[in-house]
Amino acid sequence: MKQAHCLSMALLCTALFNIQAQQQNPVILTQNAQDQVDLQAVLSSKQPAQEQKIANWTVMIYISADNDLFSFAGRNMKQMEAIGSNENLNIIVQLDTNRYGRGKVTQRYKIQHHSRELLFSPEQAMDSGDPDTLVDFCDWSIKRFPAQHYAVIMWNHGTGAIDPMIARAINPSHLFTYNKQRDLIELDRSISFMDFVESSAAPDKNVVLDAKPQTRGICFDQSTGNYIDNKGLGYALATIQEKCLNNEKLDILSFDACLMSMAEIGSIASKHAKYMVASQEVELGTGFNYARVLLPLAQAETTPEELAKHMVYAYEQSYGKITNDYTLAALDLEHFGELEDNISSVAMLLIEAIDNQSSKSVRKMITYCKSPRHCTCFDEPTYIDLYDFYQNLEKRLHTIRLHDITLQKTIVAELTKQLKAGKELILKIVTANVAGHNLRRARGISIYLPSRLHPSYRKNEPAIEMNWLKMIMTYILSR
């Protein structure tokens, strides 16, 4: 069994390297993958700037690679170098690593065409798991490379709305296996993401492939043991907006990380960014292909909406032919507050229904509608697709039985109204969405709905504000 696992991992590694090899000539993508533009044609058409001007975009990529993902960081930076900065674009990277024999190092680069320019490397390495380090990087970058638009890409592990109660991180590629017969990379769903993370806290010395570090929050720093949790993320984004952007919002906040396209994360991001790009599912360690992602910015002015959508379709171009287990979505956060209000309304209606249910009918309805058999869920099965869940509830409202028939009719009628409105809002907010065949009903926004509450979720501020935590607790206690 161990030998078979080693062989599977070897084949998977080969497949991942092939992904990189096949992505040397990226193209600009539309939803139908039309209007393709060859990279070399774009680069050869560049003209030297006559005078320095404010760029259209500054893209800040925060690479927290002081962990088991460090081997992917170099390849991603090579992809960035295939584009390089120009008069329209500043590509700025903070790279945090800890290589054998060199110790922990923090470096900041401006990515040029086929090269990288080292601009800053403090004698005392920085803690990429400290929200203030993210703030400092963005402040430093914005002051030195002003632009009309700003994007922040957070490169690291991600765990979505909950934080595992451990101090290490896993390489998400270990959740995938390579199926040689089908020539596809497949996600192992026999164990949930959080169970895999937490059960791997103590390495098994008998396993040939060493157990990898475990993850919590996002931007995990293995040397310090720190990470940016949801509260820290909110603090960092608020400080960047106030301190660095004169209270203007970031144009794009993107997560090159697992499981971050959630209502709880969108609630945080919407207060400080115009668009969010993230995945509902776990990502392969190769993550974004940055040559594809950055290509439109190399040639002409690109709007935030255009770039956010392009990032999604570029992701599909990278993974659509090699795995059925991928997602990425672009969210227009302008109307996200309306979705939060809608979630709160649905939550309060479900609470009232549970409190007045007969024969546990409402609990049974929720259990049915969220189950993996009927609802799109992800490698962490307590993360369910919000649109799919709403749609399932619509179809099962007829099963609700309350002690008061008049109240029953009122709640069913109001839930019908709110669920329809919520689905319309999701379609309005999600401006671009791609998903593999195994996740074809995923619509871009997940939400946490367990049968047993994770301790960290009790402090999740968006869940508290949306009354979703209260609904979960009412549901769990109604057994």
Q: b/e for 159-188, b at 16 or more Cβ within 10 A?
A: bbbbbbebebbbbbbbbbbbeeeeebbbbe
The Cα–Cα gap between 381 and 159 comes to 12
Q: Is the CB of residue 251 less than 8 Å from the CB of residue 349? A: no
358 and 464 in a common domain:
yes
CB atoms within 10 A of CB 433: 22
Within this chain, do residues 304 and 357 fall inside the same structural domain, yes or no? no
| Residue 169 forms part of a structural domain | no
107 and 234, same domain (yes or no): yes
Structural domain includes residue 51: yes
- Please say which residue of 335, 353, 368 terminates a domain: 335
- 454/322 same-domain check: no
Same domain, 422 and 290: no
Residue 181 located in a structural domain: no
Residue 188 lies in a domain: no
The structure's pTM equals 0.83
Are 292 and 369 part of one and the same domain? Answer: no
Same structural domain, 372 and 308: no
Domain count, the chain: 2
CA dist., res. 387 & res. 424, Å (int): 9
Domain finish residue from 273, 303, 335? 335
How does pLDDT run along the chain (479 residues), one tens digit per residue? 333 333 344 444 445 545 554 444 444 444 444 334 444 444 444 444 444 579 999 999 999 887 777 788 999 999 999 999 999 999 999 999 887 667 889 999 999 999 999 999 998 889 888 999 999 999 999 999 999 999 999 998 788 998 766 545 555 545 545 455 555 555 555 555 555 554 544 433 222 222 233 334 565 556 666 768 889 999 999 999 999 999 999 999 999 999 999 999 999 999 999 999 999 999 988 899 999 999 999 877 899 999 999 999 999 999 999 999 999 999 999 999 999 999 999 999 999 999 999 999 999 999 999 999 999 999 999 999 999 999 999 999 999 999 999 999 999 999 999 999 999 999 999 999 999 999 999 999 999 999 999 999 999 999 999 999 999 999 999 98
Q: What is the CATH number of the domain that holds 126?
A: 3.40.50.11970
Q: What is the DSSP letter of 81?
A: H
Note whether 355 and 256 are same-domain residues.
no
Instruction: Note whether 291 and 311 are same-domain residues.
Output: yes
The answer on 353 and 306 residing in a single domain is: no
In a domain, 197, yes or no: no
Q: In this structure, are 328 and 424 located in the same domain?
A: no
Q: Which residue has the tokens 């709110």?
A: 418
Q: Are 28 and 60 contained in the same domain?
A: yes
Phi and psi, residue 466, nearest 5°: -85, 5
Q: Assess if residue 194 is contained within a domain.
A: no
Residue 384, in any domain of the structure: yes
Instruction: Select from 301, 335, 369 the last residue of a domain.
Output: 335
Question: Which residue range is the domain that position 354 belongs to?
Answer: 337-429+436-477
